[in-house]
A and B are shown apart, each in its own frame.
Chain A
Amino acid sequence: MPESNSNIQSLEFLLFKAGNAQVFEKIFKSNYNKITGFCNQFIFDLDKSKSIAQESFLKLWLNREKVETANGIYSFLYTAARTECLNYLRHKNIEGKYHQKSIEEKEFLLSHDILNSFQLNEMEFSELEEAIKKAIEELPERCREVFIKSRFEGKKNREIAEDLGIALKSVETNMTRALKFLRKSLSEYLTILIALLLHL
């Protein structure tokens, strides 16, 4: 998810469209880990996620003239990554009855279903992006601290407990509260995004 400091300014966006390498480098570096992380959440293969991210940026570079808004850059990247991940997951999905599948197969199927229902078109995406940013800001203070440390700083629960001088249990409670809160405040956007879920 793009944070405010990685959003590019309108002049930079024009330079990006004109093929300016420095601006592209900035976009690459501030979004590479987000795209890699996004892919890995669905395909559970870091090397493959990295190569999908690379491919997505190459597609962005080659199609930069077609991108119409600065926000379009992010939805382009996520959409390209989503398509590649879905292709990958399709190969992983073995025919057969759901209840006879292994946990690993079920995980791939679940990933596929969720990603397939994830519509990342430009308007909804930028709305969702704003909404997530806003919802995180609105989290109760401790909750927000825990969530940001866990999600954006990549800290383990134990490290967060040490950082904030709170019990491990309290970190877990706050993460749960944060997720419940986010789901509630984002429900409007998320239900639109879920078209249909198969197999259940």
Chain B
Amino acid sequence: MDYNTIIKYLQGLASADEKQQFFAWLEEDPANKKEFAELKKIWALTEKGKEDENSAYLQFRQSENRKNRRTQLFKVFKQAAAVIVLIGLGVVASQLLKSTEKEQEIYAASYSVKAPLGQMTNLELPDGTMVVLNSGSTISYKSNFSYGNREVTLEGEAFFDVQKDKEYPFVVKAPLLDIKVYGTSFNIEAYPGDESFSATLVEGSVSILNKHGDELSMLKPGENASMNQLDKQLVIKKVNTEIYTSWKKGLITFRSEKLEDIAKRLERWYNVEIVIRDEKLKQERYFGTILKNKPIDQILEVFKLTTSLEYEIIPRANQPTLIYWN
């Protein structure tokens, strides 16, 4: 068959007569149909519409928004439910611990409580010690806790108000160092990704131990001990304990901290992902106090006003919101 007719048919320009001819040829031989199918595929894959892409895109955005409104509402509900469930779990877990102490002796299993990203969790340990767990932190302890063994493992940041017990010290094991306590309140920060350790004593006394159990130092109230994974030097300094413990009151206090480090904290507290695109900005320091219970966009506005950063918020489905700092 004349290719011109086939091309005309492909172009949608064939007349009724030409279409008749075309189908007559097509039905003549299966090979013809195969040949045409091949041409059609090449044709379809090299086809391009002539629509206006910009208005098509606007239309896309509008219909996407309409479709998303319902799922977004649903998402808010889901998040609210998750918070309730988690708080509920915390209560249930500590109730359970108290009522089944005997059974726990037999099963020396361990318990762990994790504060979800963007949330704080309060918990009471079986010995009456109160713990405020900061976002993204995990505390775990053996089920025989309180039977002369008051040992917890911490990954992240927590404020402890330890129940006094002269006989049995309370021990917090962190990745870098351990802390031995005899009834006191203090704050420990030891997030795994941060590669550092920081303990601040509010009242009472604590010992800082290395991983072999040797005492490195005794802290006095108002002192902060910190260690960096790289140089492993223990630094003790007098601090305003408010700065280190303000997070549990919903205040965030920064004292000349690098924006790079601040970004890490904001990521945990707000369950967002922050990408700093400017290397210089990472090293810029910030001094100030912000209210933690404010939405992230208001916090970012404060940073924008007081530092040189510009930001961009990109909401993502099923993933933490992405924020760019420029």
Contacts and interface: CB of A to CB of B under 8 A. Distances in A.
Interface of A: 1, 18-21, 25, 28-30, 32-34, 36-38, 40-42, 44, 46, 49-50, 53-54, 57-58, 61-62, 65, 103, 106-107, 110, 113-114, 117-118, 128-129, 132, 136, 151-152, 154, 172, 175-176, 179-180, 182-183, 186-187, 190-191, 193-194, 197, 200
Interface residues of B, number: 46
B314 A28 contact: no
7 contacts: A32-B56, A33-B53, A49-B49, A54-B63, A132-B42, A176-B4, A176-B7
B322 interface: yes
Interface in B111-170: none
Given A28-B57, A154-B50, A180-B3, A20 B314 contact: yes
B45 A183 contact: no
Given A19-B322, A200-B30, A182 B40 contact: no
Nearest to A65: B318
State the main secondary structure of chain B at its contact with A.
helix
Interface in B194-214: none
A132 B64 contact: no
B16 interface: yes
Interface in B34-71: 34-35, 37-51, 53-54, 56-57, 59-60, 63-64, 67
Contact of A154 (B40, B48, B318): B48
B47 A37 contact: yes
Contacts of B86: none
Contact of A187 (B26, B37, B38, B45): B38
Contacts of A41: 40, 43-44, 47
Contact of B57 (A25, A46, A50, A197): A25
A147 B75 CA distance: 50
Contacts of B50: 33, 154
A172 B51 contact: no
Given A18-B322, A29-B57, A32-B53, A58 B67 contact: yes
B33 A33 contact: no
A103 B316 contact: no
Interface of B: 3-4, 6-7, 12, 16, 19-20, 23, 26-27, 30, 33-35, 37-51, 53-54, 56-57, 59-60, 63-64, 67, 314-319, 322
A109 B133 CA distance: 65
Nearest to A34: B48
B3 A152 contact: no
Given A34-B49, A46-B49, A176-B3, 20 more contacts: A18-B314, A28-B57, A29-B53, A30-B53, A32-B57, A33-B49, A36-B49, A42-B44, A49-B49, A53-B49, A54-B63, A128-B45, A151-B46, A175-B4, A179-B6, A183-B38, A183-B42, A193-B41, A197-B37, A200-B27
State the main secondary structure of chain A at its contact with B.
helix
Contacts of B12: 44
A191 B42 CA distance: 12
Most buried by A among B4, B16, B23, B48: B48
A18 B50 CA distance: 30
Contacts of A103: 16, 19-20, 23
A171 to B, nearest CB: 10
Nearest to B9: A107
A130 B63 CA distance: 34
A65 B316 CA distance: 11
Contacts of B64: 58, 61
B283 to A, nearest CB: 24
A50 B51 contact: yes
Given A18-B316, A19-B316, A117-B37, A182 B42 contact: yes
